[in-house]
A and B are shown apart, each in its own frame.
Chain A
């Protein structure tokens, strides 16, 4: 089973700053099968990025995804107040196994 490790666990930044979140896989992951989600308190997760770099419908262009193989990155170019949340990466692997990273909490500094 592929394990996804996200770093940092918590990221403290101010509005207007750039956020860089990392997701590292224990084995190579097809870029087609790597996604990012945002979750705010008391809400369901929301799809941000799929296929490692494609933005989901309605997602602002300040969100971007990149990476391949075992290293993937979610970048938020300029933080808005509504971006402070928990972010998860997710992969879809063999035997139809789906795994999530443990999450990165993005908090206001």
Chain B
């Protein structure tokens, strides 16, 4: 069964840092691009970042560029998101998602909640 499990969310103060992880299983992780997508409370979906299978191509939404860093470890079947200089508007559930060739996301993890508040 293809599965993605996020971890690392929590409460952090504005300006603080947090590192999210996503553990993948049930598929050849090293063959797929991976993404982070977030959803603020009661709001819609916002793409955050993408990383290609070999980490050669990395992209960020303008809203997080320069503050967030995506990375992966294919040997550990894991995806990461290092979040620095966090702001209140970064408060959201963060999902990791596998990307298919046509740019759609399937499956998604269950999400991890990040709350930025003093």
Instruction: Report how far A102 CA is from B107 CA in the complex, Å.
Output: 20
Does B73 sit at the interface, judged by CB under 8 A? no
Give B38 Cβ to nearest chain A Cβ, in Å.
Answer: 11
Chain A's closest residue to B4 (CB) is A44
Partner of B102, one of A37, A50, A100, A103: A50
Chain A residues lying within 8 Å of B104, measured Cβ to Cβ, are: 33, 35, 47, 50-51, 90, 92
Interface positions, chain A 87-104, Cβ under 8 Å from B, are 88, 90-92, 95-103
Interface size on B, residues (CB 8 A): 21
A33 touches B44 (CB 8 A): no
Chain A residues lying within 8 Å of B59, measured Cβ to Cβ, are: 95-97
Does A79 sit at the interface, judged by CB under 8 A? no
Stretch among B13-21, B23-31, B45-53, B79-87 lining the A interface: B45-53
Partner of A47, one of B46, B50, B107, B110: B107
Does A78 sit at the interface, judged by CB under 8 A? no
Interface size on A, residues (CB 8 A): 26
Instruction: Report how far A35 CA is from B57 CA in the complex, Å.
Output: 22
Does A70 sit at the interface, judged by CB under 8 A? no
Partner of B44, one of A44, A50, A100: A100
Chain A residues lying within 8 Å of B44, measured Cβ to Cβ, are: 88, 100-103
Instruction: Report how far A21 CA is from B95 CA in the complex, Å.
Output: 25
Give A50 Cβ to nearest chain B Cβ, in Å.
Answer: 4
- Bitwise, B47-79 to A at CB < 8 A (1) or not (0) is 100100000010100000000000000000000
Partner of A51, one of B57, B102, B105, B106: B102
Can you spell out 7 A-B residue pairs with CB atoms less than 8 angstroms apart? A33-B104, A44-B107, A44-B108, A45-B105, A47-B104, A50-B104, A100-B47
The chain B residues found within 8 Å of chain A, CB to CB, are 35, 37, 44-47, 50, 57, 59, 95, 100, 102-111
